[in-house]
Amino acid sequence: MRINDIEYIEVEVFDVRSSSQAMEAFSLILTEKFKENQYVPIIIGLNEAKAILGELHGRLPQRPLTHTLFADLLTEYIADYNIEFVSIDEYNEGIYYASVVIQSPTGTYFNVDARPSDAVAIALHARVPIFFKKVLFEEQMHITQKSSGHNEVSDFEDFYTAAKASPTSTHAENEWEAMSMSELKDLLQNAVDEENYELAAKIQEEINKRG
């Protein structure tokens, strides 16, 4: 497919996996459609990983997440506006840039700047294609063979089991003791964002202990 005279390829989400690059970071694995041995990993955060995994496996929370609010607002409540596709367009200094492409009632198209994680979550929710700039995909591409033993559903279950681990467990508290104050504050913010106030209270206790 060509967009503004630039060639793009269609990709799909193969998986979301934990990343060794940073705490609470995950790799969004995008593969060229019908070529699962060619992929590009994009580092995303915990909340974004949950949103994408939720879309992949049909396990979204009862209250709308940001990407579902955006997609539903356009597709269900604003007349004659449609999300056509999303695209990953650029890579600069370690950051990917994406767009959500929307068709207006007059038939014209406009692009909304977005993070790749948000764009992908929107695409999955709206059931529209994901395109990747071909030359960029080829520059960043990895080649591997899909493991016959890989089980996405099991990975998803493991991810949520870990995410819902008891906040009062000794293991969790031992991990908090090894964290810096900045890391604890980030963890606290994530707990508040997820409305897990019991966990947030426990993390706040650990922060308070340090004065």
Residues 171 and 149 in one domain: no
Q: What pLDDT does residue 37 have?
A: 82
Domain count, the chain: 2
Q: Give the pLDDT confidence of 14-64 residue by residue, as tens digits.
A: 988 876 555 567 889 999 988 878 899 998 888 888 899 889 888 877 888
* End-to-end Cα, the chain, rounded Å: 57
Residues 122 and 203 in one domain: no
Q: What pLDDT does residue 90 have?
A: 94
Q: Give the pLDDT confidence of 102-135 residue by residue, as tens digits.
A: 998 888 999 999 999 999 999 999 999 999 999 9
Q: Residues 4-42, buried b or exposed e (16+ Cβ, 10 A)?
A: eeeebbebbbbbbbebeeeeeebbbbbbbeeeeebbbbb
Q: Indicate whether this model's pTM tops 0.85.
A: no
Mean pLDDT of 70-82: 85
Q: Among 30-39, 133-142, 158-167, which is the least confidently predicted range?
A: 158-167
Largest CA distance in the chain: 59
Domain range enclosing 141? 2-159
Residues 30 and 113 in one domain: yes
Mean pLDDT of 86-108: 92
Give the CATH number for residue 90: 3.10.690.10
Q: Which domain-ending residue is among 120, 142, 159?
A: 159
Distance from C-alpha of 177 to C-alpha of 167, rounded to nearest angstrom: 13
What is the residue whose two structure tokens read 């992929």? 39
Strand spans (E) along 63-145: 82-92, 95-103, 109-114, 130-133, 142-143
Residues 153 and 171 in one domain: no
Contact 113, 89 (CB under 8 A): no
Q: Which residue has the higher pLDDT, 53 or 86?
A: 86
Residues 87 and 171 in one domain: no
Residues 138 and 199 in one domain: no
Residues 61 and 7 in one domain: yes
Q: What pLDDT does residue 156 have?
A: 43
Percentage of the chain with pLDDT > 90?
33
Mean pLDDT of 182-211: 74
Q: What pLDDT does residue 195 have?
A: 55
- Residue 83's nearest CA partner among 115, 113, 127 is 127
- Residue 4: both structure tokens together: 């503004």
Give the chain's mean pLDDT. Answer: 80
Q: What pLDDT does residue 198 have?
A: 63
Residues 106 and 191 in one domain: no
Residues 175 and 91 in one domain: no
- Residue 20: both structure tokens together: 């060794």
Distance from C-alpha of 13 to C-alpha of 29, rounded to nearest angstrom: 6
SS3 content of the chain, % helix, strand, coil (to 5): 40, 30, 25
Residues 98 and 200 in one domain: no
Residues 47 and 72 in one domain: yes
Residues 109 and 144 in one domain: yes
